[in-house]
Structure 1
Amino acid sequence: MKQKKYYAVYKGQPPVPAILDDWNLCKEKIHNFPGAQYKSFKTKEAALAYLAMKDGTDPVSFAKKHTELAGGIQLALLEDKEDLIYNRPKETEVDLYVDGSFQEGIDAYGYGCVLVRHGEVIESFSGFGDKKDAVALRNVSGEMLGAVEGLKRVYDLGYHSVSLYFDYQGIESWATGEWKRNNIHTAAYHEYMKKVRRKIQILFVKVQAHSGNKWNEMADVLAKEGVQAAKHGKCQK
């Protein structure tokens, strides 16, 4: 007997988010919808927990907010990560905020990283890259470089779990393979993240750009400083 699947649709034809148990209904949601985000699961609990993760909240709170999606779900299962298909840590040791920047006329892209633990900044730094073909990707290259350099620092400091905050979806979707890698830079980023995720448990958290999140705003300022450092010919920070 074919095993039942649940399709969690985070971005698609409205109304979303949605949990569907029919692939044809799922296809209607995602067909001809640019940037559709969805994933299949063996349990409804795992599907709902995925949507919660994409929404940047915990599964129980998400279930209480979206009661229409939570019918038949045992909230206790949402609190036990062993019952979830994907590896979402309940808590992480440190928060990493990353951002990228680009400015016309400067053949470089900047990045900013802010490491936060228990509500306090423990480190912040910026830098830039100037690979000629990567410059064509503008701030996206900075976003990826920020994630790479930030996670290197997380590993060097001895942390085993991190919440990675970003405002560009590719940071997560290229890392997980949800998005296709259409150039050497996104492909290299994906391969690097595969290796890192074997060593560090990463919780991806999407935040809205310029929405008042002080650590994200701080990373944005640092990324711009990285671009200016490139402009003035300074060494990377």
Structure 2
Amino acid sequence: MKEVVIYTDGACSGNPGPGGYGAVLMAGEHHKEISGGEKETTNQRMELLAVIAALKLLKYPCSVKLHSDSAYLINCFKSRWYVNWEKNGWINSQKQPVANRDLWEELLRLYRIHQIQFIKVKGHSGDRWNERCDELARAAVPK
């Protein structure tokens, strides 16, 4: 499998409010930056959209090292929250509907195509690519 390194980040001005996301994809000599935004969203939605947008660019199954500062994203996969969400009809442990179900379902579809290793990055700690994703996300927030 081709190896791809992906960094992602989301940003929101107000929560909810206008938001943006950014991602950097690297594979061998190739380097691609992407970003996007929405007028009314949340930071969590932007964190998820960054990953979805990046994974959608992969043309075939890949081995992915995905770096994110989102505990929401990382904990879902490391603790396998999604297993119970699906088993319980998208009801969380507090007996409430899972927030952002639409994005989680799309992300799980993509997750099952690739071999993804989720790597937690400390936000705003000087990590070059995390900082770049933050710049891309903030720049993509609709004015």
Q: Point out where structure 1 has 5 or more consecutive residues left out of the alignment.
A: 1-90, 232-237
Where 1:212 maps in the other structure, the secondary structure is coil
Which one of the candidate residues 131, 137, 141 is aligned to 1:217?
131
Deviates further, 180-189 or 208-217 = 180-189
Superposition pairs for residues 40-59 of structure 1, below 5 Å? none
Change (3 A) 1:224 1:205: same
Structure 1 vs Structure 2 CA RMSD = 2.7
- Provide TM-score, normalisation by structure 2: 0.77
Paired residues of 2:48 and 2:104 also in contact (CA < 8 A)? no
Change (3 A) 1:222 1:198: same
Q: Does 1:166 align with 2:68?
A: yes
Change (3 A) 1:196 1:140: same
Paired residues of 2:10 and 2:20 also in contact (CA < 8 A)? yes
Superposition pairs for residues 5-20 of structure 1, below 5 Å? none
How far residue 148 of structure 1 moved from its aligned partner, in angstroms, is 0.9
Q: Normalized per residue, which structure has more strand?
A: 2
Within 2, Cα distance between the matches of 1:105 and 1:142?
A: 11
Specify the alignment match of 1:114 in structure 2. Answer: 24
The one-character-per-residue Cα deviations of 1:170-196 (angstroms, maximum 9, x if unpaired) are: 113335326848555432233222211
- Provide TM-score, normalisation by structure 1: 0.49
Q: Does 1:129 align with 2:38?
A: yes
Within 1, Cα distance between the matches of 2:38 and 2:17?
A: 9
Paired residues of 1:174 and 1:186 also in contact (CA < 8 A)? no
Within 2, Cα distance between the matches of 1:184 and 1:142?
A: 16
Residue type at the aligned position of 1:126: S
> Quick one: percent identity of the two aligned structures?
31
The structure having more radius of gyration, on CA atoms, is 1
Residue type at the aligned position of 1:172: I
Q: Point out where structure 2 has 5 or more consecutive residues left out of the alignment.
A: 86-91
Specify the alignment match of 1:94 in structure 2. Answer: 4
Specify the alignment match of 2:88 in structure 1. Answer: none
Superposition pairs for residues 61-76 of structure 1, below 5 Å? none
Q: Which aligned runs of 4 or more in structure 1 are off by greater than 6 angstroms?
A: none
Within 1, Cα distance between the matches of 2:65 and 2:15?
A: 34
